[in-house]
Structure 1
Amino acid sequence: MSETNGAWTWRLEDTSGTVVPVSEEYADQHFASQGDAESWVGEFWRELAEQGVVAVTLFELDRQVYGPMRLDTN
């Protein structure tokens, strides 16, 4: 589902804000729109959390849009 031309990306982070390495199927995802990016993280947040991702930050190109946003429901 990776779209190489997409301007929207997630930074996948641990509790200290360090980027978490995740499996290839979840790494380096690029999206054509904010909505596509948000839908993707909404669909896969549990899998990301299982790989050690605690929070995500959304970027449009180099501009931070929002985040970090915690993935847990606590």
Structure 2
Amino acid sequence: MNEDKIIQKLIELDEKIDKLPLQEYVDARFDDVMSTLDAHTKMLERLDQERLFTIERVKRIEDDVQQLKTQLKLA
């Protein structure tokens, strides 16, 4: 009886192993995920750079506005 349980368990484990994804599939999916993350990283770096440029431009515009206010005696 004990042998029957061992054989049955072995068959169950073999079936579970057959259902596991192949390593090549897992590697391909991992590569896809990494490519997507790389693309998102580049996009975020670009957006961050644009944000910094925009902040600096706004500062320059605010300085210009302050100068104009001073010249027009509004401030």
**TM class by shorter-chain length?**
under 0.3
Instruction: State the structure with more CA Rg.
Output: 2
Q: Could you tell me the TM-score, scaled by structure 1's length? A: 0.21
Q: Could you tell me the TM-score, scaled by structure 2's length? A: 0.21
Greater length-normalized contact order (CA 8 Å, ≥ 6 residues apart): 1
Which of the pair is proportionally richer in helix?
A: 2
Which of the pair is proportionally richer in strand?
A: 1
